[in-house]
């Protein structure tokens, strides 16, 4: 079926996003996670769960389970790839950069985001921004809980 | 495949000209508004009524001794009479204005529920209720130690009434059920449920938010004790809900909120209440919007609710027929349009409703995608949500075509992009 190209729509659903949606990375659960986050988006019923194995202040392994739209699933998948191996400080700073991009800050070093940059197009669709940030907010809550346990 | 000549029961094109918003474009395409179960658009007459009130009659009601106050009071009370007539209540004093259908249901839960539902009592709901007809009862039950029982939903999306006598028992104090499902459009057959409730001495509440705007509803024929609905889903302004209650119940009930308007006498030692229904309308009510709601009721009455229903049924039958022709699509709720309101709820197994909604929006087609504030029902069908198109008096068969084209486009987009 021939399609009239809709540039903004193509930006929203970039190939890499659809690829993560179709072929999610790190999907599933960990046998013995030491941090777990569960989040949902009450607006649309999207649900996500993030399992983390944190060792020596680094994300040594991560898995996710998600029910939701292509954006929320792809974002969760891309996030797990991006944070695996990072120190918790690096995860925080990456999340800040990511949020900066999603909420339209000018001072964001988009280069530092790698593949995550593909989610930039979601900005043009304000109702979908929450879909893209759901997994990240869930990850952050898991890390906060983990920090409290340690504190 | 499309009927060459629509057997339209009224002049849809003339109706469309009464709705200024239908002339606008969205993303460069004509607006196709199919989210009427969420809220409907407003005809010029309703918008004019708001402006007329503020330009000519603005005053507080019930107490003023000047002309503006008298006129505003008369216009406000005139809407009460129109509502009463619209649902065939036995008297206008049975009508209480609230700010939403949700507030009307909360009013029952607080003013009637807290006084009458005790520890060990039971409240009966259905699995397909909107959160607004579920959460107020859950809170009440939790507070007083009552139990909630649910009438289940069949795979077809209808109420499963087998075993009704085990669900509604002597312990049941109240049964609350929606007349039309906002998520699937299922029209529930209420008579069995309401008769069972009354047989056990329980009261029957009907959530009419999706029925009163779309079909003739007669509270005396239904024999319910309470009915809740909202103005903005039937051409009226936002911010107005209606509670119908049997007059004797309103007389027995204590007020919901208290303050101005609802008192007859206040002393330092205490106060006594105004007459029904005003004792339930504390504070300055939403005067302008109630008055404009009167214009909405006039508009619908002039069309005739039988005709409204017939028009929606025609659109729904056509939409279901076209949707069924799409490969892989899943349609929820009864296929027989005599048992379903103007709602088409559907999913592709591999495309989330939100993604369908976004692609449709780019085509100017507004639908709802999500759980429709009915999460327990979504869970029953093991899904996060559906795409829902819902119709009203100004929708056309051509707009159904636009919906179908958009849905096909969404399918093509995702298969193309993934390929």
B375 touching chain A per CB within 8 A: yes
Contacts of A67 in chain B (CB under 8 A): 384
Q: Please tell me which residue of chain B has the smallest CA distance to A1.
A: B412
Backbone angles phi, psi at B204, to 5 degrees: -115, 125
Beta bridge partners of A53: A61
Q: What pLDDT does residue B416 have? A: 55
What does the DSSP assignment read for B361-381?
Answer: HHTTEE-EEE-TT-HHHHHHT
Q: What pLDDT does residue B377 have? A: 95
d(CA B211, CA B342) in angstroms, rounded, equals 10
Q: Answer whether the bond into residue B277 is a cis peptide, omega within 30°.
A: yes
d(CA B222, CA B235) in angstroms, rounded, equals 24
d(CA B141, CA B123) in angstroms, rounded, equals 8
Chains A, B: CB contacts under 8 A, how many? 56
Which residue in the set B352, B413, B417 is minimally distant from A68, CB to CB? B352
- Secondary structure E strands in B283-323: none
d(CA B221, CA B243) in angstroms, rounded, equals 17
Q: What pLDDT does residue A108 have? A: 79
Q: Which of residues 33-92 of A touch B (CB under 8 A)?
A: 43-47, 67-71
Q: What pLDDT does residue B5 have? A: 46
ipTM: 0.83
Which of A16, A44, A76, A125 best tests the B interface by mutation, with the highest count of B CBs <10 A?
A: A44
Domain boundaries, chain A: 7-150
> In whole angstroms, how large is the CA radius of gyration of chain B?
22
Asked if B173 and B225 count as a contact pair (C-beta separation under 8 A), the reply is no
B412 touching chain A per CB within 8 A: yes
> In whole angstroms, how large is the CA radius of gyration of chain A?
15
B373: left (phi over 0), alpha (psi -120 to 50) or beta: left
Residues of B with catalytic function: 373
What does the DSSP assignment read for B154-185?
Answer: -TTSSB--TTHHHHS-TTEEEEEEESB-TTT-
Least Cα separation, residue B404 to chain A (angstroms): 14
Asked if B60 and B207 count as a contact pair (C-beta separation under 8 A), the reply is no
Architecture of the domain delimited by A7-150: Alpha-Beta Complex (3.90)
Interhelix angle B67-86/B287-303, nearest 10 degrees: 40
CA proximity to A67, closest of A38, A32, A36:
A38
Work out the angle at residue B292's Cα, subtended by the Cα atoms of residues B290 and B298, and round it to the nearest 5 degrees: 110
Show the 3-state SS of B223-275: CCCEEEEEHHHHCCCCCCEEEEECHHHHHHCCCCCCCCCCEEEEECCEEEECC
Contact yes or no for B358 and A125 at CB 8 A: yes
Q: What pLDDT does residue A72 have? A: 92
Q: Which of residues 323-362 of B touch A (CB under 8 A)?
A: 351-355, 358-359, 362
d(CA A23, CA B15) in angstroms, rounded, equals 48
Give the C-alpha distances (Å, rounded to integers) separating B59 from A140, A147, B415. 52, 58, 59
d(CA B243, CA B107) in angstroms, rounded, equals 8
CA proximity to B18, closest of B271, B285, B303:
B303
B364 touching chain A per CB within 8 A: no
Least Cα separation, residue B136 to chain A (angstroms): 18
Contacts of B371 in chain A (CB under 8 A): 44-45
Q: Please tell me which residue of chain B has the smallest CA distance to A13.
A: B417
Q: What pLDDT does residue A4 have? A: 62
Asked if B332 and B345 count as a contact pair (C-beta separation under 8 A), the reply is yes
Which helix or strand (DSSP H or E) is residue B136 part of? helix B135-144
Which residue in the set A6, A15, A45 is minimally distant from B375, CB to CB? A45
Q: Where do the domains of chain B lie, and which CATH numbers do they carry?
A: 12-39+304-414 (3.90.1150.10), 47-301 (3.40.640.10)
Q: What pLDDT does residue B413 have? A: 84
Mean pLDDT per 10-residue run, chain B (419 residues)? 52 97 96 98 98 97 91 97 98 98 98 98 98 98 98 97 96 98 97 98 98 98 98 98 98 92 87 92 96 98 97 98 96 97 95 93 95 92 92 98 96 68
A124 touching chain B per CB within 8 A: no
Which of B26, B382, B384, B409 best tests the A interface by mutation, with the highest count of A CBs <10 A?
A: B384
Asked if B39 and B210 count as a contact pair (C-beta separation under 8 A), the reply is no
Residues with Cβ < 8 Å from B163, sequence gap 6 or more? none
Least Cα separation, residue A44 to chain B (angstroms): 5
Which residue in the set A6, A15, A131 is minimally distant from B354, CB to CB? A131
Give the C-alpha distances (Å, rounded to integers) separating B30 from B26, B363, B364. 6, 8, 6
Q: How many CB atoms lie within 10 A of CB B374?
A: 25
Token pair for residue B214? 């779309």
Residues with Cβ < 8 Å from B178, sequence gap 6 or more? B126, B128, B129, B130, B133, B188, B206, B207, B209, B210, B211
Backbone angles phi, psi at B111, to 5 degrees: -75, -35
d(CA A128, CA A91) in angstroms, rounded, equals 23
Q: What pLDDT does residue B261 have? A: 83
B131 touching chain A per CB within 8 A: no
CA dihedral B224, B228, B229, B230 (to 10 degrees): 160
**Chain position carrying tokens 């907010």:** A137
Residues with Cβ < 8 Å from B96, sequence gap 6 or more? B104, B107, B242, B243, B244, B245, B250, B277, B280, B281
Per-residue pLDDT of chain A (151 residues; tens, 9 = 90+): 445 678 888 888 888 999 999 899 999 999 999 999 999 987 767 899 999 999 999 999 999 999 888 999 999 999 999 999 999 999 999 999 999 999 887 777 878 888 899 998 898 888 889 999 999 999 999 999 998 876 5
């Amino acid at each position: 079926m021939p399609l009239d190209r809709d540039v903004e729509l193509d930006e929203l659903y970039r190939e890499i996003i659809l690829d993560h949606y179709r072929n999610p990375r790190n999907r599933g659960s960990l046998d013995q996670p030491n941090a777990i986050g569960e989040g949902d988006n009450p607006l649309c019923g999207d649900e996500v769960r993030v399992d983390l194995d944190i060792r020596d202040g680094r994300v040594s392994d991560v898995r996710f389970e998600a029910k939701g739209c292509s954006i929320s699933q792809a974002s969760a998948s891309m996030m797990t790839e991006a944070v695996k191996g990072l120190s918790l400080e690096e995860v925080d700073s990456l999340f800040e950069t990511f949020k900066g991009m999603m909420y339209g800050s000018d001072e964001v070093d988009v280069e530092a985001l790698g593949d995550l940059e593909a989610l930039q197009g979601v900005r043009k669709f304000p109702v979908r921004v929450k879909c893209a940030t759901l997994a990240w907010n869930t990850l952050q809550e898991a890390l906060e809980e983990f920090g409290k346990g340690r504190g | 495949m499309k009927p060459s000549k629509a057997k339209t029961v009224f002049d849809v094109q003339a109706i469309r000209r009464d709705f200024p918003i239908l002339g606008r474009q969205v993303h460069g395409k004509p607006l196709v508004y199919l989210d009427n179960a969420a809220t409907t658009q407003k005809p010029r007459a309703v918008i004019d009524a708001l402006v007329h009130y503020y330009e000519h009659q603005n005053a507080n009601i019930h107490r003023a001794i000047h002309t503006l106050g008298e006129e505003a009071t008369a216009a406000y009370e005139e809407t009460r009479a129109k509502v009463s007539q619209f649902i065939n209540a036995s008297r206008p004093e049975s009508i209480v204005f609230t700010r939403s259908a949700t507030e009307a249901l909360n009013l029952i839960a607080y003013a009637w529920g807290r006084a009458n539902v005790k520890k060990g009592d039971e409240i009966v709901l259905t699995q397909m209720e909107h959160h607004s007809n579920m959460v107020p009862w859950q809170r009440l039950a939790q507070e007083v130690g009552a139990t909630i029982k649910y009438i289940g939903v069949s795979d077809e999306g209808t109420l499963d009434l087998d075993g009704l006598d085990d669900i509604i028992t002597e312990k049941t104090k109240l049964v609350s059920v929606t007349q039309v499902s906002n998520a699937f459009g299922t029209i529930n057959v209420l008579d069995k449920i309401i008769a069972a409730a009354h047989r056990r001495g329980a009261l029957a509440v009907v959530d009419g938010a999706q029925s009163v705007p779309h079909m003739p509803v007669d509270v005396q024929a239904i024999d319910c004790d309470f009915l809740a609905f909202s103005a903005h889903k039937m051409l009226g302004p936002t911010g107005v809900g209606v509670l119908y209650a049997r007059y004797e119940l309103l007389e027995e009930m204590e007020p919901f909120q208290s303050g101005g308007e609802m008192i007859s006498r206040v002393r330092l030692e205490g106060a006594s209440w105004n007459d029904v229904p005003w004792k339930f309308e504390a504070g300055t009510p939403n005067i302008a919007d109630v008055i404009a709601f009167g214009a909405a009721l006039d508009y619908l009455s002039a069309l005739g609710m039988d005709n409204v229903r017939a028009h929606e049924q025609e659109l729904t039958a056509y939409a279901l027929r076209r949707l069924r022709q799409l490969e892989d699509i899943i349609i929820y709720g009864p296929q027989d349009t005599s048992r379903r309101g103007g709602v088409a709820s559907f999913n592709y197994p591999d495309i989330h409703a939100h993604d369908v909604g976004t692609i449709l929006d780019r085509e100017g087609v507004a639908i709802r995608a999500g759980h429709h504030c009915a999460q327990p029902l979504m869970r029953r069908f093991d899904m996060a949500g559906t795409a829902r198109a819902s119709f009203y008096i100004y929708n056309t068969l051509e707009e159904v075509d636009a919906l179908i084209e958009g849905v096909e486009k969404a399918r093509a987009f995702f298969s193309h992009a993934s390929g």
